[in-house]
Structure 1
Amino acid sequence: MSTITANNEAIAFRDVKAVWNSGGNLDVITDLVSDDFVYHNPMLGEPGRGADGYRKQAETFRDAFSDIEMTVDEMIAVDDAVTIRYTTRATHDGELLGVEPTHANIEITGILVNHLEDGKLKAMYVNDDALGLIEQIGAVEPPEKAVLSR
């Protein structure tokens, strides 16, 4: 593994631990992201842009969920890209997407695809179990399980 690839892994891992875990420090965002950074999370609509946009979107989740613990299950780094498969556990203690706190314990899995340039995060793409999350906080009722027949 090249030094650049190892450094990119360390930056992506630091982002998970500082930005997404409730015990982290959002002030590190300015050190981690480029000026033209773009955070793509389909659940939130428009992408977050730059450090301020990313911080605002991270605060949305950290305000809605206490005791967030995001675990890196797998990390793969190639050149300027770092992909992380993760599991997040938390408690729904604040409003999210118009849903008042349910105090439900949630668990979701997802994948982050990070692109880095010159030692900074340039773009992040989130693909997670958004439907599972909104089901767990009671925003939608899960469909009845279908019985498949041949």
Structure 2
Amino acid sequence: MKIVLLNGPNLNLLGDREPEIYGATTLADIERRLTEQARAEGAELDCFQTNHEGEAIDRIHAARRVADAIIINPAAWTHTSIALLDALNAFEGTVVEVHLSNVHKRESFRHHSYVSLRADGVIAGLGGHGYRAALDFVLRRGGGAS
């Protein structure tokens, strides 16, 4: 099984940016743990972070040919990007949306997610553990389309 882990804008600053909201764990820490978890289950995890929406869309398009699942933290694009939703709608495998913080306890503009319209599951507010839960779900599900 091949899984793409896609992280959106500003997540490269995890550990430094607003640790009271996002915690002290870095994205590299999260990616390392998830890669080990995937490998232990016989899966391959391809990690990618970008601050450029077009690059994220290109990565989703590429995943259509090779991946069984996408775990995505779209960050601010969650609330703004119909283009990201359209790209995910063209992907036939499992999609899990992850947010470190509980977006429903934050500003009202964060309560709407375009990505959720495609996601097979949404995890919010569990910090870095949310990524592990998403990976566990994908591994148990087998990556098939919804």
TM-score (norm 1): 0.29
Structure having the larger proportion of residues in helix: 2
Structure having the larger proportion of residues in strand: 1
